[in-house]
Structures are given as C-alpha cells and as structure tokens.
A and B are shown apart, each in its own frame.
Chain A
Amino acid sequence: MEQLNNIGASLDFYIFVSIALFSIGAIGVLTRKNMIVLLMCIELMLNAVNLLLVTFSTFFGNGEAQIFVFFIIVVAAAEATIGLSILIMAYRNSKSIDIEMFHKLNG
C-alpha cells in the first residue's frame, strides 16, 4: 500500500517521461530517412508504452499490465524481424534503404 502511495506521488512524473520517450520516437520517425533508424524509433515508442504500462501496473498494484508488457516485447521482436527482412528485400530491389527512394506508388 505504501508502495502504491509513494509511486502515486510521482505517477505524473513517470507518465511524462514515457510521453517524452514516445514523442521522441515519433519525431524520430517523422524526421529520419534511414529505415533502420525508423525501426529503432518505433521500438523506442513501444518501449515508452512498456514504461507507461509498468508504471500503471505498479500504481494499481496488479500484474496484468506487466504481462501485457511481455506481449508487447514479443510482438516488437516479431515486428523487428519482419521489418528487417522487408528492409533487406527492399534493399535488394533498389540498392538503398533511404525511404525517400520509395515513391513509385503515388497519385
């Protein structure tokens, strides 16, 4: 119970941190052109979510959220692998991993 309280005091702090992380990730996604970096930024966003979930789970004092976090980690891993393979294939087709290269499909 005390634990809950003393995290309760600084709950907002955790939330802000994770929001900040999330925003950084998002801004990275927006600004960077290298696909690998994009991938990393998305990972960062996911981790921000993880942080948030863990915070809440501590706040509510139940483990559900932490289980959810495990799900997220697994899924993130899967996504990363898929993403990398797609990236490789894309690289094979057009010798580049700069997303600006890909605008044949438009209009």
Chain B
Amino acid sequence: MGKDLLLLTLISLPLIGAAINGILGKRMPKLIVGSLATMMVFVSFLIGLTLFTGLDKTTIVHLFQVAKFEDFTLDANFQLDSLSIWMTLIITGIGSLIHLFSMGYMSHDEGYHKFFTYLNLFIFSMLLLVLGSNYFVLFFGWEGVGICSYLLIGFHYNDAEKGLANSLAARKAFIMNRIGDAGLLFALFMMLNHFHTLEFVEIGKMVTASPELYTGIAGAITLCLFLAATGKSAQIPLFTWLPDAMAGPTPVSALIHAATMVTAGIYLTVRSNFLFELAPTTKDIILVIGIATTVVAAFIAMRQNDIKKVLAYSTVSQLGLMFVALGMGAYTVALFHVTTHAFFKALLFLGSGSVIHAMSDEQDIRKMGGLSKLTPITHITFLIGTLAIAGFPFLSGFFSKDEILAHAWMSSPIVYGILMIAVTMTAIYMFRLYFLVFHGSFRGGEKLKSHVHESGLSMTIPLMVLAVLSVFGGILNLPGIVFHDAGHWMSHFLESTTYGLNQIEPEHMDGNQSIILMCIASAVALSVMTWAYITYVKKQAVAKEDADMNAWEKLSSNKLYIDEIYQTIFVQPILWLSTTLASQFEQRVLNNGIFRLTSAIEASGNYTRKWQSGFLSSYLFWMVMGIIGFISYYIIKSTFWN
C-alpha cells in the first residue's frame, strides 16, 4: 500500500466514521457508535505511526484540482513531512484517547451519536489543516475546525439553565475566529499576488532562493498570518473566546481547546517559518504579545473558581509561552512545548472532567475538596499533570519549559525575568487548584458527597496513558547539554521542515548556565508547591468570596474586565449604528423620501385639474390665447431668428 493511499485513508477514516455515525448513529447502540468513532481515529493513528516510521523525505499527494483561475490554481494536495506527521500523531493519538474517554463521559447524553459525529468531523478537519500541502487546504481545515468547535461548544444548547450561555459562547468563539480567518485570507491573497501559488514548498523555495525580494511583503503577510494565529490560538487581543468555550463538554475542551485546535496557530507559524524569518518586526510583535498573553492569562487564572476556567486560562498562558518561543525563532522548541502541553493539559482536562463527572456536573472548586480518597486514580493522574505543568523536575513540562526559558535567557534577561514571573504564577494557580480540589475537607455537602464515585475504565485508562506520557514526554527532546548524544532528538527530526533557520541552540551556552537555569526553575516549582500546601491544606484557606477580595484579586477574578471593554468599544457602537441606520437613514431618507415624491406627484394632479374649469367661455378663451401665443411665438422667432 503506497504512501499516498495510506495518507488518504488516514485522512478519510474519521470522515467515514462521521458519515456513518451521522446517518445511522441514531439507530445504532451507543457502544457501537462510540467504539466505531474511536476505532476510526485510532486506526488513523496507527497508519500515522507506520508513515512516521517509514518517513524519509517530503512527499506531496495530489488529490484533485479544485479550480483553475486566470493566474492561479486551487489544488487539493496533501503533504507528508516530519512536521505534518508529528502533528498528525499528536492529533490522532490524543484524539483517540479522548474519544475513549468520551465514551464513558457522554454515556448519559442523548446526543451521543451527534457528539461522536462532530468529534470525528473535527479530527478530519484538523488533519486537513496539518496535512494540507498548501494554504488553501489549510484554510479548509482552519475553518472546518472552527465550525466543529462551534458545534461542540454549543453542544448542550437546550440545557435548561446553561443552554443560552452555551450557544452564546459558541457564537462568540466562531465570530472571533472569523476575524482571525479574515487575516489568514488576506495573507493568502498577498501570497497569490506575489508568489502565484499557495504551496508551502514552492513558496519556501522562492523565498529561500532570493530573500531580499520578499522582505517587504513578508512583513505584511506574516502580520496577517499572526492575526489568524491570535484568533485560533487565543492570544491577545482575540483570546476572550477560549475561557467561554469551556461551556462545551469537557472532552471537547481537552481535545479542541487544549491539545489540538488551539495549537493550529503555532503550527501555522512554524509552517510559514521561512516567511517569519524575513520579518523581524513581526517576530518582535509575536514575542511581545506572547509575553503579555502568558502573564495576563496566568494572572487571571489565579483567582478563578471554576475548575475548567482555571485550566482554560492556563492554556492561554501556555500558548503565550509557545508564541514567545516562536517570537525568538525557536520553532522546534515551541513544537516541543506543544507536544508536552498536549499531554499534560489533556490529562488535566480529562482529570477535571472525571472530577466533574464524579461531582455530577459541579464545577465550582469551592464546593470540592478532599477528593483524593474518593477518586484515587483521578487524583494521582491529576497530581502528575499538575507537577508536569508546574515544571517539577524531570517531568515533561520541566524540559519543554526549560528550553523556552533558556532561549529567553539567551535573548534578554528581562524577557527571562517576566517569564519566570509567569511560570511562578502558573505553579501557584495549579497547586491552588490541586489542593483545593483533592485535599482538605469535602465542601459540597453530604448529599453530593454520597454519590461521588471514581469513573469507569473507559475514562481512567486515558488518564493513566496520558499520565505516563506527561511524565516521560520530556525524553523526546532532552537538553543536549545534559544528555549529550540523546539530546534534541525531536529538534533534529523536525529540522527538515524548519529549514533555513538560524535558531540559537542551547549548546552555545555553557553547561553551568543551563544547569543553573534548570535549578532555578525547579526551585521555584518546589517552593511554590510547599507554600501552596501550607496555605491550602494546613491553613485550610478556601477561595474567597468577591466581597473580601483586595483590588488585585478582584481584577484577577473579573478577568481584567476585558469582555466589558470589548463590549463597550466594539460591539455596542456597531449595534447602535445598525439601529440608527435602519431607523433613520433607511426609513427616513430613502423610504419616506421616495414616498413623499410619489405622493407629491399624485397631489399635483389636483392642481392641473383646476385648469379644466368646466366653463365653455374659459375653454374658448384659452384656445384664443393659444393661437395668440402661437402667433407671438412666430413674431418673436422671425424677428430674433433671422
């Protein structure tokens, strides 16, 4: 079986699954529906593995030509190279785990088959996104995942009390993504105008062949691309949709809003690295925005009381971290963090999902506590996840984060300092979350406590697998300085696609420095951990009510009031404009103006009629007047004409 065919099957399997479930799902038993969907994704994962092992060089599969226009063609091509296969593995791997998890999690939901249809569709469009060999196919996937995310966020639209909120959140996500998409479109247009193609490889060739030609346009293109990235990957200014997107079922949050879709922005940037390399300004902008996002999100996360909201903001913050890496040109490092983040954030989300499942859909951490005994597996795995994200030594998060920090240190100590603050805050809110949920005494009342239970296997197995991954994930890209020959395996693997780069390899800095950095990081993690333990377990401190918060805490718990600001700056004016235009201009000027005109014409009939007085003498008089007029016309004309 040729590579091409394998690749196409890999892509089409989830689509087939979606089709089957979508059409027949209603009549099939839930078990079959769920396992079918899971199998589809898992099989594509296996195919992905085979392709991964057999990978040698970049291969492009031409499916068909969508349309041929005057000066450009739109092709449905797919590209198989290290980057795409890497992303594919993440998507299908994590995806199949989460499918498995959902089988248990959604078991009580009446929209079961719909859910799996959407999930498979999502996987399909995500695969389009990463496997497409040109920006056109990428855009298909890009919008496709947007739609699936819309459908899945608003999945519980007819929920009694939260239904409206869910659908509104879905709408917000879609529209904000659309703004980003517009940016992507403009990037595509500019590429079409300057390169007359959208193929990654060809553009890459052109650019690397003669960089000096394209420096100017590259800046514009990359800015647009980055706008798109901010939309999809929830960076400032378009990040507010992601926390709201937590309205979706938890597996969705795990798959789409933590592991895969939100990293599409990073994928896009890495894909177009050859352009970004020509646009230092854009890279600086990315760096700044990345830093700002990671700090802001981490700050907000510190005082959130919804378990998923905390994780959401932590996701935003981690994504910010990845963009920092991109801004510094460390593409593989960013991808490394994408990978580890996929592991532990998926783990955390699923863990929270299992918690919520156990707490029968209660998400407020103020009502939890002491779940460690009630849900042991969840507890252990969640702890691992927490440690991983907090940068506990030798867990996956530790290495990936450390790489980024090392680069930051190389570029400038200030950046490093700010990032350290963010890292510290990350540790703080994560441990706060962990201790409030799993330690101390149960605050949810006896009735709730009575039927808190550990989740079934279908949910715990993924947890365990992910836990293992988040522990050992770091092996993929060990820092070369410490483990000399084993180091940077992943970076080397991905070099072929992140070609033409001059990224600072941590080798260049001497060993002591990097070891010192590692020590600082782990020291921070450990100290925060102990501090949090004292505060939340020994002192039994619970999240405060809004009343007794100080200004900073208020700011944090109210998300810096960003939603409100957007409302007043953007949304309200447009709506006002809409109403005013409709009522004033449309009605008054256009409609009534014309109506007035017509009625005036009609009324003028009354005046013309008056001439017809009905008196014979007046008729005769006017006739004579007419003749006299004629004759005077003649006299005037004959005197003045010739």
Contacts and interface: CB of A to CB of B under 8 A. Distances in A.
Nearest to A99: B616
Contacts of A107: 609-610, 612, 614
Query: Most chain-A Cβ atoms within 10 A of its Cβ — which of B609, B613, B617, B620?
Result: B617
Contacts of B614: 102-107
B531 interface: no
A99 B617 contact: yes
A68 to B, nearest CB: 22
A103 B621 contact: no
Interface string A48-83: 000000000000000000000000000000000000
Interface residues of B, number: 11
Contacts of B624: 26, 30
Contacts of B621: 30
Interface in B240-285: none
Interface string A5-42: 00000000000000000000010011001000000000
Contacts, number: 27
Contacts of B617: 30, 33, 99-100
A44 B79 CA distance: 107
A106 B620 contact: no
Query: Most chain-A Cβ atoms within 10 A of its Cβ — which of B613, B614, B616, B620?
Result: B616
Contacts of A103: 613-615
Contacts of B609: 107
A30 B618 CA distance: 8
A106 B616 contact: no
B612 A100 contact: no
A12 B509 CA distance: 127
B611 to A, nearest CB: 10
Nearest to A103: B614
Nearest to A23: B624
Interface of A: 26, 29-30, 33, 99-100, 102-107
25 contacts: A26-B624, A29-B620, A30-B617, A30-B620, A30-B621, A33-B617, A99-B615, A99-B616, A99-B617, A100-B615, A102-B614, A102-B616, A103-B613, A103-B614, A103-B615, A104-B614, A105-B614, A106-B612, A106-B613, A106-B614, A106-B615, A107-B609, A107-B610, A107-B612, A107-B614
Q: Ordered nearest first, which 10 A-B pairs have the shortest CB separation?
A: A106-B614, A103-B614, A99-B616, A107-B609, A103-B615, A29-B620, A30-B620, A30-B621, A105-B614, A106-B612
Given A99-B615, A99-B617, A102-B614, 16 more contacts: A26-B624, A29-B620, A30-B617, A30-B620, A30-B621, A99-B616, A102-B616, A103-B613, A103-B614, A104-B614, A105-B614, A106-B614, A106-B615, A107-B610, A107-B612, A107-B614
